Amino acid sequence: MIQHLDVDGVPTLLAATGGPMRAGLTFRVGTADETLVRSGITHLIEHLALAPLGLADYHVNGATAQAFTTFHTQGSEADIATFLTAVCGNLSDLPVARLDVEKEILRTEWSSRGAAAVDSIPLWRHGARDYGLISYPEWGLGALTADDLREWTARWFTRENAVLWIAGDRVPAELRLALPAGTRQPAPTASSALPQTPAYFVSGSRAIVLDSVVRRRAAASVFSAVLERELYRSLRQEAGLSYTTTTGYEPRGDGYAMLRALADALPEKQDAVLGGFIDVLAKMRVGRIEQADLDATIAKREDFLGIAEVDAARLPSYALNVLTGEPNLSVDEHRAELKAVDLADLHEVAGEMIASALLMVPGGLTADWAGFAAAPTHSAEILQGTTYSSKEGNAALRVGVDGVTLLQTGDPLTVRYDDCAAMLVWPDGARQLIGSDAIALHIEPTLFNLHPGAIPAIDAKVPGDRQIPMPARAPDAIPQPQAPVRQPTASATSTWWELPAMVLSGMGVLVVGALSVLLTLAMLLTETKPGEEPLWGGVVVLWLLTVILTLPIVKLRRRRRSR
Amino acid sequence: MIAAMPAPLPAPTFDAGAAYPEVEDLRKALDAADWPAVRAMVADRDPDGRTLLARVVGDQVGIEAFLQRAYDDNPEDPHAGLLLGAWLIRAGWRVRSSYRAQHVSRSQFAKFHEHLRRSEQVLIDVTARHADDAAAWTQRITNNRGLELGQAEARRRYDRLAQHHPHHAPAQSSLLQQFCPKWSGNWDRAFGFARECAQAAPDGALNAVVIAEAHLERWLEFDTERERAAYLRDPAVVDEVMQAGQRSVLHPDFVDRPGWVSVRSAFALIFSLTEQWTAAASQFTALGNRGTEYPWDYVDGAAGFTKFRAKAYAKGGQS
């Protein structure tokens, strides 16, 4: 049983455990609540709240997700009380003295985290906003001030916007959650950057990943496991094409859940893995779902619901539902819901998954043949304005009163000032405008024949709070136009032998040419008598000789002209 | 006394109707837009017969609306999906090949790809519902080339088919094309696959024809007449072609099942080219005046057929 309690105004959940005591304090705030110019603010606050705690001998951690931020610990009753009391104290009174150090640590964390295959998916689905922000670097860090952070904590890290869960016998007596008062925040609204689905985009990754959004329900969660079994059987066991085949199901907090599937592939088998993946999806879509997979999945879930620790184990997800106001079920209700899931329900989920699908395919492949539309890689709109030509190639930059368009062959990029999520600003004049649809337009002033007023004009149009200063670049990091391709030319000085060679060659041509003409005429005007046929051979040889002697003149003349 | 003149040999025809009576019946049903009749004829066949009839449907022009309606009314019916899918592939290629490659406009390419994509999506559904539909998988192997989906994907499609039908000869011929260099394959893979199919096949089956086809493809790909001639004189080639024939058309168990005209045509041509005239003559005798565009188009179509038939009868004897 899960008890609902209250600790200093924070809703608190308590469930018994046979293992060590654990606790988590979760806030309804995450990267999806940020903007691109402020991205990283929640993560920075999470770090600052933990920073003064130093090295603990017990397990402590923090995690910033898309819609939730959690502080988690495991240890004795006293450890837990000390940890959470300190976290709340730090949140109410941020140790801003450590601000710059923590910013550096976060930058290091970002640069050292390996780019995972799935990292770019949110950007393609949502754009440079809410749920798409997690794809971007934490560009907001640099400009964030202590006041910015205090403002953010006052809004999001409040007791009304938090929930505490404890797996243990009781709430530790010394625990104090000194959080300011505030209001419960609704789940962020998910934007879409996809004009139509199912869609696909090409990535540099070798894995094939399907991302989808389905209504949150037991059948969808079961479907995820059933799909994983099918992928494993088809792509790994039977075809031997993939090593990893996996799926994930994660409620988003707004009544929907993210449902994902991944299959990896060797470089030479990528096309076959994509084909096999699409066939597995088709099998699900037409409703050929194996009853055995459904039964096995339900049995596994029922096993989980039967363990003694079930309530303690489901505390974290239970807490998220409390925060977002989504219903929580008892274990018996869960069981009943699971039992009710049938193949028709799974078939329905499959349809929803494919209808909302965004498929990531490896480079060189497409998925249009299977009915997936290409996700936009350029803009539909071309703005009016002053056009500046490129110093290389035939691109052009058009700076207008409403925004900027980069004209390239076939695929223009446009960012409107009023829809600009952020503009990266380099001291050397380079700019990158990022539209809320994630279209990124990069301007290197060295590569365009720009009017000196063009960049300042753009700067004046993009609101100051959308501009992100970037560190200065090393001179060799600033691109330069490719030097115009020069024809390889011969040495500029003429060599002494050229003229005599031309004269000699010319004289030779005259002599041999005249002979050739004479002999040819003679042969043509007189009848060829038997035995004279070899003379025709002589004519041919003479003409050939003439041509050969002409060659040096022609070649030398050309050399001289090209100088 | 006037010597009796031998009766002139009948002119060759590459019309499938000349070889298979069911083809004429199917065409009549298609002309009458009689879906139940069309469906019954296709449903009643074994995999070889269905693949053959799918090809016939693809060659019939002006039936798109009829097939689309049949499919829309019966989206779960494997025959409706197979025939629409097969028709769209052939129709797409008709758009593509009615002009020379350098003259194919962007809009024609778009139309070509549009046809192949529509076909693919119908066939994805058919094979998703009916994983053992050999004819539908065969169409998907063919479509893999036009859509340029890749070598490994083509093989995967064939393997899915072979799980249920290990010796479906038309699918093997189609995959062999994909494995040739002209479709981004290589000769090792092409011959490896052909030998794999021939060895696994039962005696007297159609399948060893892929060996003949592989040699025809290899022969055609040489740049010079000298290389071509040397290839056909190579004892290893001559022997392998004969052994393939003995496993197939020359085997006492061989019967003329659907697809036999193209199989005997391939052997007739390769036997002729390798100057194994008795074997070639036996194939021409069985063929009579019947042939198929593939492989005869490689040697000038009907003219090549007529030329080699005459030579085979003269040197190998007409039985």
The domain that holds A457 is classified in CATH as 2.30.29
Contacts with B129 from chain A: Cβ below 8 Å: 286, 288
Would you say residue A24 lies in a domain? Answer: yes
- Is the model's pLDDT at B135 over the cut of 90? yes
**Average predicted confidence (pLDDT) for chain B:** 95
Residues A45-100 have pLDDT tens digits of 999 999 888 766 567 799 999 999 999 999 999 999 999 999 999 999 999 999 99
User: Where does the pLDDT of residue B104 fall: very low under 50, low under 70, confident under 90, or very high at 90 and above?
Assistant: confident
Contacts with A371 from chain B: Cβ below 8 Å: 117, 121
Q: How far apart are CA A435 and CA A420, in angstroms?
A: 4
Q: How far apart are CA B109 and CA A322, in angstroms?
A: 56
**Contacts (Cβ under 8 Å, ≥6 apart) of A186:** A324
Closest residue, chain A, to B121 (C-alpha)? A370
- The alpha-carbon gap from B220 to the nearest alpha carbon of chain A, in Å, equals 28
The pLDDT of residue A496: 45
Residues A458-484 have pLDDT tens digits of 999 999 999 999 999 999 999 988 754
Contacts with A278 from chain B: Cβ below 8 Å: 124
User: Where does the pLDDT of residue A493 fall: very low under 50, low under 70, confident under 90, or very high at 90 and above?
Assistant: very low
Closest residue, chain B, to A368 (C-alpha)? B117
User: Where does the pLDDT of residue B97 fall: very low under 50, low under 70, confident under 90, or very high at 90 and above?
Assistant: confident
Would you say residue A192 lies in a domain? Answer: no
Question: Is A283 in Cβ contact with B149 (below 8 Å)?
Answer: no
Residues A368-409 have pLDDT tens digits of 999 999 999 999 999 999 999 999 888 999 999 999 999 987
Closest residue, chain B, to A272 (C-alpha)? B153
- Is the model's pLDDT at B209 over the cut of 80? yes
Residue A73 sits in the same domain as residue A43: yes
Residue A213 sits in the same domain as residue A335: yes
Query: Quick count: other Cβ atoms within 10 Å of Cβ A355?
Result: 13
Look at strands A256-263 and A208-215 and give their pairing: antiparallel
What is the average pLDDT across A232-255?
Answer: 94
What is the spatial order of strands in the sheet that A162-167 belongs to? A3-7, A10-15, A162-167, A22-27, A69-74, A59-64
Residue A426 sits in the same domain as residue A542: no
Contacts with B125 from chain A: Cβ below 8 Å: 282, 286
Would you say residue A190 lies in a domain? Answer: no
Would you say residue A531 lies in a domain? Answer: yes
Question: Is A270 in Cβ contact with B121 (below 8 Å)?
Answer: no
User: Where does the pLDDT of residue A494 fall: very low under 50, low under 70, confident under 90, or very high at 90 and above?
Assistant: very low
Question: Is B127 in Cβ contact with A272 (below 8 Å)?
Answer: no
Q: What is the CA radius of gyration of chain B?
A: 20
Q: How far apart are CA B175 and CA B37, in angstroms?
A: 31
Closest residue, chain B, to A281 (C-alpha)? B128
What is the average pLDDT across B279-305?
Answer: 97
DSSP states of A260-319: EEEE---GGGHHHHHHHHHHHHHHHHTT---HHHHHHHHHHHHHHHHSTTHHHHTHHHHH
Q: What percent of chain A has pLDDT over 70?
A: 84
Residue A157 sits in the same domain as residue A228: no
Query: Is the Cβ–Cβ distance between B174 and B136 less than 8 Å?
Result: no
User: Where does the pLDDT of residue A512 fall: very low under 50, low under 70, confident under 90, or very high at 90 and above?
Assistant: low
Structure tokens at A319: 């807490």
The backbone torsions φ and ψ at residue A397, rounded to the nearest 5 degrees and listed phi first, read -110, 130
Which of B77, B141, B142, B156 to probe by mutation at the A interface, max A CB count within 10 Å? B156
Of the candidates B292, B297, B300, the one whose C-alpha atom is nearest the C-alpha of residue B258 is B292
Q: How far apart are CA A179 and CA B259, in angstroms?
A: 81
Q: To which residue do tokens 């205090």 refer?
A: A150
Count of the separate structural domains present in chain A? 4
Question: Is B149 in Cβ contact with A271 (below 8 Å)?
Answer: yes
Contacts with A241 from chain B: Cβ below 8 Å: 152, 156
* β-bridge partners, A261: A210, A247
Contacts with B184 from chain A: Cβ below 8 Å: none
- The alpha-carbon gap from A125 to the nearest alpha carbon of chain B, in Å, equals 24
Element (H, E) at A212: strand A208-215
Cis omega (within 30 of 0) on the bond before B295? yes
Which of A271, A273, A290 to probe by mutation at the B interface, max B CB count within 10 Å? A271
The pLDDT of residue A111: 76
What is the average pLDDT across B190-212?
Answer: 98
Question: Is B124 in Cβ contact with A279 (below 8 Å)?
Answer: yes
Query: Is the Cβ–Cβ distance between A66 and A119 less than 8 Å?
Result: no
A32, A109, A254, A288, A501 from A185: Cα distances, Å: 12, 28, 12, 42, 92
Residue A108 sits in the same domain as residue A237: no
Residues A500-511 have pLDDT tens digits of 555 555 555 666
What is the spatial order of strands in the sheet that A386-389 belongs to? A386-389, A396-399, A403-407, A413-416
Q: How far apart are CA A216 and CA B122, in angstroms?
A: 30
- The least confident of A181-190, A389-398, B52-61, B158-167 is A389-398
The pLDDT of residue A538: 61
Residue A313 sits in the same domain as residue A405: no
- Is the model's pLDDT at A555 over the cut of 60? no
Element (H, E) at A111: helix A99-112
What is the average pLDDT across B110-125?
Answer: 96
Query: Quick count: other Cβ atoms within 10 Å of Cβ A93?
Result: 11
- Is the model's pLDDT at A495 over the cut of 50? no
| Angle, helices A291-306/A343-355, rounded to nearest 10 degrees | 100
Q: How far apart are CA B261 and CA B282, in angstroms?
A: 13
Q: What is the CA radius of gyration of chain A?
A: 36
Look at strands A396-399 and A431-435 and give their pairing: unpaired
Counting Cα atoms < 13 Å in the Cβ hemisphere of A209 gives 23
What is the average pLDDT across A115-133?
Answer: 91
**CA A535 to mean position of chain CA atoms:** 79
Residue A147 sits in the same domain as residue A271: no
* β-bridge partners, A538: none
Closest residue, chain B, to A373 (C-alpha)? B117
Domain ranges across chain B? 17-163, 166-319
Would you say residue A552 lies in a domain? Answer: yes
Residue A207 sits in the same domain as residue A332: yes
A120, A226, A289, B249 from A296: Cα distances, Å: 33, 9, 13, 51
Nearest to A271 among B76, B150, B160 (CB): B150
Q: To which residue do tokens 């105004």 refer?
A: A9
* Domain containing residue A549: 498-561
Q: How far apart are CA A59 and CA A396, in angstroms?
A: 56
What is the average pLDDT across B139-161?
Answer: 97
- The alpha-carbon gap from A202 to the nearest alpha carbon of chain B, in Å, equals 15
Q: How far apart are CA B292 and CA B287, in angstroms?
A: 10
Question: Is A369 in Cβ contact with B160 (below 8 Å)?
Answer: no
What is the average pLDDT across A293-299?
Answer: 97
Angle at CA of residue A29, ends A82 and A41, nearest 5°: 85
User: Where does the pLDDT of residue A547 fall: very low under 50, low under 70, confident under 90, or very high at 90 and above?
Assistant: low
Residue A450 sits in the same domain as residue A507: no
- The alpha-carbon gap from A394 to the nearest alpha carbon of chain B, in Å, equals 22
Closest residue, chain A, to B146 (C-alpha)? A369
Q: 3-class SS at A354?
A: helix
A44, A88, A113, A156, A194 from A132: Cα distances, Å: 19, 29, 18, 20, 12
What is the average pLDDT across B140-147?
Answer: 97
The backbone torsions φ and ψ at residue A62, rounded to the nearest 5 degrees and listed phi first, read -130, 155
ipTM topping 0.90: yes
Size of interface A-B (CB pairs under 8 A): 56
Question: Is A370 in Cβ contact with B121 (below 8 Å)?
Answer: yes
What separation, in Å, do the N-terminal and C-terminal C-alpha atoms of chain B show?
27
User: Where does the pLDDT of residue A7 fall: very low under 50, low under 70, confident under 90, or very high at 90 and above?
Assistant: very high
Residue A144 sits in the same domain as residue A260: no
Contacts with B147 from chain A: Cβ below 8 Å: 369
Q: Which amino acid is at A504?
A: L
What is the average pLDDT across B203-218?
Answer: 98
Nearest to B117 among A275, A279, A368 (CB): A368
Nearest to A371 among B116, B121, B152 (CB): B121
Element (H, E) at B137: helix B134-146
Residue A370 sits in the same domain as residue A399: no
What is the average pLDDT across A277-288?
Answer: 98
- Higher pLDDT: A2 or A483? It is A2
Q: How far apart are CA A435 and CA A412, in angstroms?
A: 13
Would you say residue A481 lies in a domain? Answer: no
Look at strands A431-435 and A403-407 and give their pairing: unpaired
Residue A205 sits in the same domain as residue A274: yes
- The alpha-carbon gap from B110 to the nearest alpha carbon of chain A, in Å, equals 12
If you average pLDDT over each of A235-244, A346-355, A549-558, which comes out highest? Answer: A346-355
Q: Which amino acid is at B41?
A: M
Q: To which residue do tokens 């031309």 refer?
A: A502
What is the average pLDDT across B102-110?
Answer: 79
Angle at CA of residue A226, ends A223 and A231, nearest 5°: 120
Q: What percent of chain A has pLDDT over 90?
A: 77
Question: Is B116 in Cβ contact with A282 (below 8 Å)?
Answer: no
Contacts with A351 from chain B: Cβ below 8 Å: none
Of the candidates B195, B102, B183, the one whose C-alpha atom is nearest the C-alpha of residue B143 is B183
Which of B114, B123, B124 to probe by mutation at the A interface, max A CB count within 10 Å? B124
The pLDDT of residue A453: 92
